[in-house]
Amino acid sequence: MAREKKKLAGPPPPAPWMSTFSDLMNLLLCFFVLLFSMSTVDAEKFQEMAASFISSFSILPNGGSAVGDGLLISNGVSQLNELSEYFSNMGLSDEGEQMKTMQEMMDAIEREELEKSEEMAKELENVLSENDMLSDIEIDFTSQYVELRLNGTILFGSGKADIRGEAVAFMNKLGDILKEYENCLIEVVGHTDNVPISNSKFANNTELSCFRAISVVEYLQNEKDIPAINLQPSGRGEYVPIASNDTPEGRAQNRRVEIKIHRTLE
């Protein structure tokens, strides 16, 4: 005859959800106590809140917990209102004011950075004027960098990426100017119009624009000893036009090289 299994004595174990719920309530209690411990606490209000927690929860010996007579639900709104008032007194609850203050700070930083870029742009404008180069270079700036915009025909022949011989003197003067900013990141970006390229050397306009940017970077690196780590070439092809490609004048504006001098962080 098979033996009967011996029945275990004692009450059945608590449901698994009770332990999880108990841990959650304990964590919430610790969280609010910690918030109050980091500030100047009104003793009377603290006692009221502690009494509210005690009346709302009864911690059982086996680690479970129970909600007492719906007090948590009935008192929940008033407790949240008290917490809202408390954080409001600390200046932490008005989200709109916080966002407004943060936006004002960001705007102030943006204006300061823009002013610094404007100063750099004026310096470059003076130097370019002294070298009679302003007619060939446009200057623009943002809060992050100052941009020198060159017409592509100054440096390159149609469909080519090698710097023209007659442009070497121009690049030499420009390189001397950029040498003064060799500790900044100097980004060289090539652009083209939307006319498809028709030679076997470059597959498309994007490739052509990349090689033109590389040619300028190599000149600055090899002839002016600007550190390679501070030079960054890239090509955007026909995809960032600044004028309409429907006219010869517009296409001429789009065939350009942009040199962006990113200001160093202070």
Residue 136 has pLDDT above 70, yes or no: yes
Nearest to 57 by CA among 72, 76, 35: 72
Provide the token pair at 119. 């100063």
Average pLDDT over residues 177-196: 96
| Lowest model confidence (mean pLDDT) among 107-111, 130-134, 254-258 | 107-111
The most confident of 11-15, 66-70, 73-77, 259-263, by mean pLDDT = 259-263
Spell out the long-range contacts of 152-156 with Cβ–Cβ below 8 A and sequence spacing 24 or more.
152/190, 152/191, 152/192, 152/212, 152/255, 152/256, 152/257, 153/252, 153/255, 155/212, 155/215, 155/216, 155/257, 156/212, 156/215
- pTM for this entry: 0.64
Mean pLDDT of 162-191: 96
pLDDT band at 88 (very low <50, low <70, confident <90, very high): low
Which pLDDT does position 152 carry in this prediction?
92
The predicted pLDDT at position 131 comes to: 94
Structure tokens at 236: 């955007």
